[in-house]
Structure 1
Amino acid sequence: MSRWNPERDFDVDRFKGDNRLTFVPQWSDEAKDWWREHIFEPHGLYPDEFADVLTKSVHGDRSVTYFGISPESDSFVVKVVGSLGDPGEAWWTERGLDLRGKAFHAREMVIPERSQGQGIGRHLMGDLFDMALRMRIERIDIEAQDIGRYAWIRAGFLPDNTGWRYRLRPEIRDRLAKARSSLSDENYRYYEAALDSDDPKIVREIASWEEPVPSRERTSGGEAILRPLGRVLLLEILADWCGSFDLRDPTSLEIYENYARRTLQR
C-alpha cells in the first residue's frame, strides 16, 4: 500500500491515462488540482494507486476507469475491472466517493457466476471498508439486491427508515404468513410482534432467525429444502432496499468483522 510521503512530488503525467487507466472525459487541470489537494496530499495516492488499494484483496490484472469527477461537489466515481485468470472471466466493481458528505457509495459489484461463493465480493467490500476508515469516511451507502438483501444485513448494513417500513416490512410479513404452518403458535406470535418495530435495526434480529422452514428451493425430487427463517424472509421477497453502514458505530464494525472474518484497518 502506498504511504504518504511529504517529499513526494506531484506528477501530473500520472493523469495521462493508458491501457490500464482511463479518465472519461479526460480530466481538466481543475480536476487534477482537486485530486492533489483532497487525495494525494492527505493520502499519498495517485488514481491508479487509489484503485489498487480499493481492491487490494483480489489479485490479478485490472483496468481502472474514472468518470463523473466533480470538483464542485467533491465527488467522483471509479470502476475497477479485474481478471480472474480464465479468458472472459472478470469481476468488476463501481464505487462513488462523496467527500463533502463523508460517504462512499458502493454502487455496483459483479462477480461471474462460476466464481461466486469464493468470498471475492466479501473481500472487495472489506477493501472498501479499509479505504473508508483510512480516509475518515463516516458511512457506506448501498442498494441491496438479490443475495445482498440478506448478506449485507448480516454484514452490518441497515435499510433506511422508508425502505424498512414501506418496502421490506410488508413483504416480510407476507412471506412469514406463508411459513405459518411450519411454525409453532408461540414462535409465530413472537416473529409477528418483532415486525411491529419501526426501528430498521430489527432486521439484524430477523436475519439471525435460524428456525428451519421450507424454502422455494427444491431437491431433484421436487421436495422443498429447509432453510433458516431469516434467510427465507429476506431472500424470498421482491423488495430491494437502500441503506447504509455507519462507520462511526462500534457495534456495526464488530458485526462486520465477525461476518467477514476480517480485522479492519481502523
Structure 2
Amino acid sequence: MAPRRTQRWPEGWFENDDTVSFEPTVAGRIGNWWFDRVFEPYRLSPRALAESLVDGIDGRNHVRFLSFDRRGGRVSVELSGHLGTARIYYGGHTLTVETQGRHAEVDLVTVEEPFRGMGVGARLMANLYGVAKAIQADRIGLRAGLEDGPFVWIKFGFFPTDEQWEKVKKPIRTKLDGLGLMVCREARNRVEQALLSTSGRAIAIIAAEPDLVMSRPAFSGEPREVALGQALLADSGIRWYGEFVFADDEARELFEACVERNIAREPR
C-alpha cells in the first residue's frame, strides 16, 4: 500500500466563503504544492493572495480560483465586484509562480460604464503589480484589444513585443490615411517616423499625440472628438500582445504615475 501523503497546509486554507471560492475543490496534492511552492517562498496563503488582488476596492468583491496547474506552476483566478445588484468590474489573472519564468498575465480587466473614471481599474492593476512583485515576477503580460485597450495600456507602461508591433503597423497607417487633413503635417511626420521603428516601444510616441480629430470607434458608435493617439490606436481595430517589465525603469515610472493619477475611492 502506498504511503499516505502528509497534509502540510493548515485546515481552512481552501474553504469557500463570500469573498473567496475554489472550483474545483482543492485536493491534497494541490494544497501541498501551494504550501511548498507559494507559501514557503512568498508567505502567501491562497486567501492572502486573493484578498491582495481586490484590496482597497469598495463594494462586494469575490475571487474565484479557477485552476491550479502543478506541472506548469500556474494558478488562474477570476475577480468580480458588485455594488448591490450592479456589477462594478470583472477580470481574471494567471500567475506563474515556479522559480523559472515567474510572471503574471492579465487575462481580462473590464470596468462597467457607470463606474469608470473612479480609479477601479487602476486599483486592480496596482494590486496585481503588488502581488507580482511579491512572487518576484519579472514581468506582467496582457493582450490589448478590447475597446480602448490598445491605447490605454500604453499609459500603464505596457508595450507590444517587437513582433506584435510589426503586425499592427498597417492598420495604424490605414487609419492615419483615413483621417486625412485633420492630421497636421508635423503630427503626421511624427507618426510616420514612429511606424518606421522596429521597436514596439515606438507605439508610445503615437499614443502621446494630443491633437483632436473626429474619429469613429473601431467596432460601433458615432464619430466623436478624441486625441489623435487614441484615434490611431483605439479606433484602428488593432490588437497586440505586450508586456510590462519590472526591470524597465521607464515602464515602471509610467505605471506608477498612471496609477497615482487615476486611483480614487471606489464606489460604496
Sort the TM-score into its range (normalised by shorter chain): 0.7 to 0.9
SS at match of 2:200: coil
Structure 1 residue 240, shift from structure 2 partner: 1.6
The answer to whether 1:215 aligns with 2:215 is yes
Question: Which residue of structure 2 lines up, in the alignment, with residue 155 of structure 1?
Answer: 156
Question: Which residue of structure 2 lines up, in the alignment, with residue 71 of structure 1?
Answer: 70
Structure 1: how far apart are the matches of 2:128 and 2:134? 10
Structure 2: how far apart are the matches of 1:184 and 1:81? 43
Question: Which residue of structure 2 lines up, in the alignment, with residue 137 of structure 1?
Answer: 137
Structure 1 residue 245, shift from structure 2 partner: 0.6
Alignment of 1:102-121 (within 5 A): 102-121=102-121
Distance 1:163 1:13, change over 3 A: same
How many pairs align? 247
The one-letter code matched in structure 1 to 2:133 is: L
Structure 1 residue 225, shift from structure 2 partner: 4.2
Structure 2: how far apart are the matches of 1:88 and 1:183? 41
Structure 2: how far apart are the matches of 1:173 and 1:180? 11
Deviations 1:23-77 (A, max 9, x none): 2221121110111112222333321221111121212322221122011111110
The answer to whether 1:259 aligns with 2:254 is no
Structure 2: how far apart are the matches of 1:14 and 1:97? 18
Contact 2:50 2:63 in 1 (8 A): yes
> Which sections of structure 2, spanning at least 5 residues, go unmatched?
1-7, 262-268
SS at match of 2:36: helix
Structure 2: how far apart are the matches of 1:251 and 1:191? 21
Structure 2: how far apart are the matches of 1:170 and 1:212? 22
TM-score w.r.t. structure 2 length? 0.85
Deviations 1:201-239 (A, max 9, x none): 00111111112222227xxxx9x6432211111111111
Structure 1: how far apart are the matches of 2:74 and 2:106? 14
Alignment of 1:1-266 (within 5 A): 10-83=9-82, 85-100=83-98, 101-144=101-144, 145-166=146-167, 168-216=168-216, 225-261=224-260
TM-score w.r.t. structure 1 length? 0.85
SS at match of 2:85: coil
Structure 1 residue 136, shift from structure 2 partner: 1.1
Contact 2:38 2:97 in 1 (8 A): no
Distance 1:234 1:199, change over 3 A: same
Structure 1: how far apart are the matches of 2:26 and 2:173? 49
SS at match of 1:261: helix
Structure 1: how far apart are the matches of 2:214 and 2:127? 36
RMSD: 2.0
Contact 1:156 1:245 in 2 (8 A): yes
Question: Which residue of structure 1 lines up, in the alignment, with residue 4 of structure 2?
Answer: none
Distance 1:182 1:110, change over 3 A: closer
> Which sections of structure 1, spanning at least 5 residues, go unmatched?
1-8
Structure 1: how far apart are the matches of 2:187 and 2:80? 46
The one-letter code matched in structure 1 to 2:153 is: W
SS at match of 1:89: strand
SS at match of 2:126: helix
Distance 1:13 1:231, change over 3 A: same
Structure 1: how far apart are the matches of 2:255 and 2:15? 38
SS at match of 2:132: helix
